[in-house]
Amino acid sequence: MITDSQVEKWIAVLLRGGVLLAASVVLLGGILHLAHHGTVRPDYHVFHGEPMELRKPNLILREAFTGRPDAIIQLGMLLLILTPVARVGFSVVAFVVERDRMYVAMTLVVLAVLLYSLLAG
Amino acid sequence: MDTSVFTSILFVGSLLAGFLGALTGLGGGVVVVPLLTLAMGVNMHYAIGASLVSVIATSSGAAAAYVREGFSNIRIGMFLEIATTLGALLGAYLATRLHTSTIGIIFGIVLIFSAYFSAREPKTADAGRSIDPLAHKLKLEGSYPAKDGKENYRARRVPLGFGMMFGAGTLSGLLGIGSGAMKVLAMDQAMGLPFKVSTTTSNFMIGVTAAASAGIYLSRGFLDPVLAMPVMLGVLAGSLLGTKVLVRAKSQSIRMVFSVVVVVLAIEMIYNSVKGRL
């Protein structure tokens, strides 16, 4: 039998680990980007929108593994967005173990909204 | 100005924003967006994208610390996240459709309200003795460690709190902020939950709420990696620093000063939006 405080401890580890991993990947990509393109003049005044390969999770992953710096940063951002999603996923499991059907259902709703945003938004 | 210089300035600015955001409890987002749009000339859409990921980072980082203290209530948080995530979807869709100056004006108004509520004394409202049977059915109750043993509490006015959370989620998704002030308001003022439970549970919820709109921002191309990189790292580092200082110094005066700064930024945002410069 697991207790609420154990669940809370695991959630804390999960959140901290996720943020640390995401920040490390972002930092790595950032250093690589500045080393290659540090002298380019940035222009963010007019909104153009990011290219497709920096928008879709599968394309970000593919580009990042070719070593493209901005895609590596974006992979870190994706990991960051996935951290709360993983936390909610973990909560589903915790409520299943606690046999709390009502909260399993509620947590699944939250998870569905998050996945919808990430995959279909 | 090349990318290296631009990135360095953004990092330092975001560090400061995160530091002040943590000290005052307002969060880094409310300063980062004005910093990017007013001072650095960044388009509103890119600015709210960069701000939102920094919100996820700080919320998740801070929540890790709060969860272990035993104040945050995971069930109340999860129940209310249904409202905030759905609101966040709506907010993110609105952000893709509304004109940047409209977003700027709403941002300014929300800033003023946030400043007001963060400057007020933390006091739990007396929501009346009325018992909400819904709260019992949904298990929206708990206990927290108080001075003399455990203190029990139960939520009241659940539908009102749920509705306000939907609004908080919408603002979060529309403006790229955590909207922690409104979440706390929904819990401690509307639902009558203890202040400490409200603030820590709110922090716990901010990351999940922000993730719900971040997915849409990402797929609509609002999230520029090179711009978001120094913002996310800066706000995260700054807020971790701020949390460390906060433990040592409870500072009402800093809150007041910061609130004034936020109001000035708010007026600046509204003015520039009306003039069509944002």
Q: Is residue A42 part of a domain?
A: no
Q: What pLDDT is stored for residue B125 in this prediction?
A: 56
Q: CB of A55 within 8 Å of any CB in chain B?
A: yes
| Residues A8, B68: C-beta atoms closer than 8 Å | yes
Taking the CB of residue A15, how many other CB atoms lie within 10 A of it?
25
Domain carrying residue A16: 4-36+52-119
So what's the ipTM on this one?
A: 0.93
SS3 B153: strand
What are the respective helix, strand and coil percentages of chain B, to the nearest 5? 75, 5, 20
Instruction: Give the integer Cα–Cα distance in Å for A59 and A78.
Output: 12
Instruction: Give the integer Cα–Cα distance in Å for B69 and A42.
Output: 43
Confidence of residue B130 (pLDDT cuts 50, 70, 90): low
Given a contact cutoff of 8 angstroms between Cβ atoms, the answer to whether B38 and B268 are in contact is yes
Domain carrying residue B195: 3-274
| Residues B4, A39: C-beta atoms closer than 8 Å | yes
SS3 A65: coil
Q: Is residue A46 part of a domain?
A: no
Residue B159 has pLDDT above 90, yes or no: yes
Report the candidate in B150, B172, B189, B148 with the shortest Cα–Cα distance to residue B85. Answer: B172
How many structural domains comprise chain B?
Answer: 1
Residue with structure tokens 């959370």?
Answer: B165
Q: Where does chain A have alpha helices with state H?
A: 4-37, 57-64, 69-97, 101-119
**Section B182-201 average pLDDT:** 89
For B16-65, the pLDDT digits (tens) are 989 888 877 777 888 899 999 999 999 999 999 999 999 999 988 777 76
Q: Whole-model pTM above 0.80?
A: yes
Q: CB of A56 within 8 Å of any CB in chain B?
A: yes
Half-sphere exposure of A25 (CA within 13 A, CB side): 22
* Shortest CA gap B163–chain A (Å): 16
| Residues A15, B61: C-beta atoms closer than 8 Å | yes
- Cβ-Cβ contacts under 8 Å, A68 against chain B: none
Q: Is residue A25 part of a domain?
A: yes
Query: CB-based burial of residue A45 (10 Å sphere; 0-12 exposed, 13-18 middle, 19+ buried)?
Result: exposed
Given a contact cutoff of 8 angstroms between Cβ atoms, the answer to whether B202 and B180 are in contact is yes
CA dist A110 to A78, B46, B84, B173, Å?
A: 18, 26, 9, 15
Given a contact cutoff of 8 angstroms between Cβ atoms, the answer to whether B268 and B35 are in contact is no
- Cβ-Cβ contacts under 8 Å, A88 against chain B: 78, 81, 208
Q: Quote the tokens at residue B240.
A: 């971790």
For B214-253, the pLDDT digits (tens) are 999 999 999 999 999 999 999 999 988 887 776 555 566 7
What lies within 8 Å, CB to CB, of B30 at 6+ separation is B21, B111, B114, B177, B262, B265
**Section B131-139 average pLDDT:** 88
Helices B100-119/B252-274 angle, 10° precision: 160
How many structural domains comprise chain A?
Answer: 1
Q: Is residue A76 part of a domain?
A: yes
DSSP B36: I
Instruction: Give the integer Cα–Cα distance in Å for B27 and B73.
Output: 20
Query: Chain B window 99-128: which residues touch A at a Cβ cutoff of 8 Å?
Result: 100
Choice between B26 and B190, residue whose per-residue pLDDT is larger: B190
Instruction: Give the integer Cα–Cα distance in Å for A67 and B223.
Output: 19
Taking the CB of residue B277, how many other CB atoms lie within 10 A of it?
13
Report the candidate in B190, B184, B132 with the shortest Cα–Cα distance to residue B160. Answer: B190
Q: Quote the tokens at residue B84.
A: 């905030």
Given a contact cutoff of 8 angstroms between Cβ atoms, the answer to whether A79 and A18 are in contact is yes
